[in-house]
Amino acid sequence: MGAATVKCSTPLDSASVGSWYWIGVCAGLGVAIGVLVAAVLVGSRMAFTAALVLAVGAGVGVGFLIGDWPEAVGGGTGGALGAIGSAQVASGALRRGGARFGTAVFVGLAALVLAALAWIPAVGFIEAAVVPALGGRLRGRAPERYAGLRSLAKD
């Protein structure tokens, strides 16, 4: 009795993945870039605008490094969505007394995780949808100021 051989009717071929995979990778990498840039630069509206422009530009650049126009559009869109979604987290942490460097480090680590996850098929598209949704959800739940002891004062 010899070892059984398994014959595969179709060989493994990465070309069968198609361009949707690379567009998703570029979108996920763009989200990660947007998260990182927004975490480092956010603080005012002008800084947010600069972060948004830089994230879109870097996402488009990554898209052109990996592929052509469809990948560049995916990367630029991901960069914009990542910057928009993470700006709420970073600005909220700074507004509530968080240190700028500490916020940038922790959100930067999250950006590294997002960049690693972008290489999983279809996860880049999911990141591009989830990150701004979470940022929008945080925006609706965030109080304007920490009440502190003022909440105990009688009117």
Are 116 and 41 a contacting pair, CB within 8 Å? no
The string of pLDDT tens digits covering residues 74-127 is 999 999 999 999 988 888 888 888 888 888 899 999 999 999 999 999 999 999
Q: pLDDT value at position 45?
A: 80
Are 16 and 105 a contacting pair, CB within 8 Å? no
Q: pLDDT value at position 12?
A: 47
Q: Which residue has the higher pLDDT, 129 or 42?
A: 129
Distance CA 129, CA 124 (A): 9
CA geometry: angle at 90 spanning 89 and 95, to 5°?
Answer: 100
Query: Does the structure show a pLDDT above 60 at 10?
Result: no
**Tokens matching residue 95:** 């507004």
Query: Does the structure show a pLDDT above 60 at 130?
Result: yes
> Count of CB atoms within 10 A of residue 23's CB?
23
Distance CA 128, CA 31 (A): 6
> Count of CB atoms within 10 A of residue 130's CB?
15
The residue-averaged pLDDT of 128-143 equals 81
The string of pLDDT tens digits covering residues 14-72 is 556 778 999 999 999 999 999 999 989 887 788 889 999 999 999 999 999 999 999 99
Q: Which residue has the higher pLDDT, 84 or 3?
A: 84
For the entire predicted model, the pTM comes to: 0.80
- Report the phi/psi class of residue 71: left, alpha or beta, with left for phi > 0 and alpha for psi in -120 to 50: alpha
Are 119 and 25 a contacting pair, CB within 8 Å? yes
